[in-house]
Amino acid sequence: MKYEKPINLDLSVSISAGYTDFNYTKAIKTAISEAGGNSSGENFVPIKVGLKHFFNPQDDPGFFAEGQVGASISTEKGAGAAFIFAPGAGYEFESGFEAGLRYEGWFKDGSLNQIGLKLAYNF
């Protein structure tokens, strides 16, 4: 879930939160179980704040770049949180639909990196 508030014609501030469930493959589950760990998967609550800049706001709204930072909080007791860095770019159509591509990196005792394609509708 994401909330955006326009600051001016070409800049918005955002806050987002969600739930991420990483499921392991059978081979990884087996290896974790054999090592005595919890092989059911891992769950996180990522919370991010960011800025979204429209390059040519006269196109209403058009191409944009966005950057977010935040924390991914583990649901496992005592596991803590990871720092999140998430830049991206996309296009927002006049109809309210949005398409974009983003990189998201989680950093704590190593890193988890992912690239995502976003298709959304803005209410």
Q: How confident is the model at residue 39 (pLDDT cuts 50, 70, 90)?
A: low
Mean of the per-residue pLDDT values of the chain? 88
Q: Is the pLDDT confidence value at 17 over 90? A: yes
Cα(35)–Cα(43) distance, integer angstroms: 20
Q: What is the pLDDT of residues 47-91, one digit of tens each?
A: 999 999 999 877 667 899 999 999 999 888 888 899 999 999 999
Domain with 44, as residue range(s), is 2-121
Cα(30)–Cα(118) distance, integer angstroms: 33
The pTM (predicted TM-score) of the whole model is 0.81
Q: Residue 17: CB partners within 8 Å, gap ≥ 6?
A: 1, 45, 46, 47, 48
Picking from 66, 63, 62, 64, the residue whose alpha carbon sits closest to that of residue 86 is: 66
- pLDDT for 59 equals 63
How many domains, the chain? 1
